[in-house]
């Protein structure tokens, strides 16, 4: 049997090649791991905007659940008060049943026929028998009342249990929505925290530039519409003047034409279009709404807040309408269902304007194509052109 030969150790040259290959692979792997470029400012801004929009959608759902929770809590309290009153009524009926039952037991210990034969005074017995009949009638009536009260009490207890179960379910949904909102806002903040102060300033400047561009485009469109309207009015005026001239030529003139004083050029010059909305009117419901909205400018956005120190979008519109003694639903989607739909060309100060396909954002229209709205977390209540966001429509409650 031959001896096994031990494998010969690798030569120094081979070791050098292997070491170099391994090191090169490590360098290559390390280089690959760090080759991913940092996201651009535009990419970060896009992600932040998307996260904030998703957070606002969740906030409006949260507001809806919160409103439902408050209604359910009020309903549960009302039903529980009814149950307590019903229980008191049952306790009183039980006491009365006990008294009547004891009286019946005492009076019905002997058969009525035997008692009549043994009684030395039949007239006295008949009087007592009448009382016994009354006692028996009271017993029957009390039993019926007790049965009715018990059925009603059982129904109210079942109703209370169902309402409390709904309340628990809504509370769980509230917590889920709250966690989702906080998660979206935390992601947005984490993205912004990775940026330097200079990069943040660039994003803010880009956002301001986008708003200014949208406002300028909207103002230009409004000017074109006004120019077209004026041109049509001038044409109609010229046509009417021409028709009047032809009529005057056909009819002999009996009186000398009156001279008119020419107007100064300033009187014919249309007033310049202001870059900012005109102040609200002195009175009326719309003025109260707009004046309230103006008074909130600069206050911070606060999700699920309805004032007075901070607001979310539907919280601001609801508070503005409360200032005019008008009650609105809590969420933007529900506010959309209240009142009359208004065409964009017929907007008036005080109207509600809605944005995004799911209507998760709302503001108060103040005229000149602008609104006052509560934008999002980290921002303050501001004036903004309605063309900046995807416009869906308007309502006049």
Query: Is there a catalytic annotation at residue 34?
Result: no
**Active-site option among 45, 299, 360, 361:** 361
**Active-site option among 299, 305, 373, 376:** 373
**Active-site option among 93, 170, 313, 320:** 313
Query: Is there a catalytic annotation at residue 360?
Result: no
Residues 6+ apart with CB under 8 A from 227: none
SS3 assignment for the chain = CCCCCCCCCCCHHHHHHHHHHHHHHHHHHHHHHCCCCCCCHHHHHHHHHHHHHHHHHHHHHHHHHHHHHHHHHHHHHHHHHHHHHHHHHHHHHHHHHHHHHHHHHHHCCCCHHHHHHHCCCHHHHHHHHHHHHHHHHHHHHHHHHHHHHHHHHHHHHHHHHHHHHHHHHHHHHHHHHHHHHHHHHHHHHHHHHCCCHHHHHHHHHHHHHHHHHHHHHHHHHHHHHHHHHHHHHHHHHHHHHHHHHHHHHHCCCCCCCCCCCCCCHHHHCCCCCCCCCCCCCCCCHHHHHHHHHHHCCCCEECCCCECCCCECHHHHHHHHHHCCCCCCCCCHHHHCCCCEEECHHHCCCCCEEEECCCCCEEEEEEECCEEEECCCCCCECEEEECCCCCEEEEEEC
Nearest to 185 by CA among 57, 67, 64: 57
Q: Which residues are catalytic?
A: 313, 361, 373
């Amino acid at each position: 049997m031959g001896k096994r030969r031990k494998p010969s150790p690798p030569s120094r040259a081979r070791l050098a090649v292997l070491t170099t290959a391994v090191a090169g692979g490590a360098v290559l792997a390390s280089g690959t791991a760090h080759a991913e470029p940092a996201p651009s400012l535009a990419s970060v801004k896009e992600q932040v905007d998307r996260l904030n929009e998703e957070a606002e959608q969740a906030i409006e759902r949260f507001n809806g659940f919160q409103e439902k929770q408050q209604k359910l809590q009020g309903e549960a309290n009302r039903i529980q008060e009814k149950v307590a009153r019903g229980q008191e009524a049952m306790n009183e009926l039980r006491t009365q049943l006990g008294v009547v039952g004891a009286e019946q037991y005492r009076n019905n210990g002997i058969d009525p026929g035997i008692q009549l034969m043994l009684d030395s005074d039949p007239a006295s017995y008949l009087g007592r028998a009448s009382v016994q009949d009354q006692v028996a009638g009271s017993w029957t009536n009390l039993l019926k009342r007790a049965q009715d009260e018990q059925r009603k009490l059982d129904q109210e207890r079942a109703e209370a249990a169902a309402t409390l179960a709904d309340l628990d379910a809504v509370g769980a949904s509230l917590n889920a929505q709250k966690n989702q909102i906080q998660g979206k806002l935390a992601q947005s903040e984490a993205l912004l925290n990775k940026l330097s102060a200079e990069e943040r300033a660039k994003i803010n400047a880009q956002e301001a530039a986008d708003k200014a561009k949208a406002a300028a485009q909207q103002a230009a469109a409004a000017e074109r519409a006004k120019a077209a309207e004026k041109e049509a009015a001038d044409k109609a005026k010229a046509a009417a003047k021409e028709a009047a001239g032809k009529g005057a030529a056909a009819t002999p003139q009996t009186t000398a034409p009156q001279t008119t004083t020419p107007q100064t050029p300033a009187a014919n010059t249309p007033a310049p279009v202001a870059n900012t909305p005109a102040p609200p009117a002195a009175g009326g419901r719309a003025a109260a709404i707009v004046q309230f909205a103006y008074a909130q400018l600069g206050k911070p956005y606060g999700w699920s807040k309805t004032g007075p120190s901070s607001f979310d979008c539907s919280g601001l519109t609801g508070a503005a309408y409360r200032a005019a003694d008008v009650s609105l639903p809590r969420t933007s989607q529900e506010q959309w269902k209240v009142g009359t739909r208004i065409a964009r060309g017929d907007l008036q100060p005080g109207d509600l304007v809605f944005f995004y396909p799911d209507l998760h954002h709302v503001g108060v229209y103040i005229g000149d194509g602008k609104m006052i709205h509560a934008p999002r977390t980290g921002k303050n209540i501001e004036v903004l052109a309605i063309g900046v966001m995807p416009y869906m429509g308007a309502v006049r409650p």
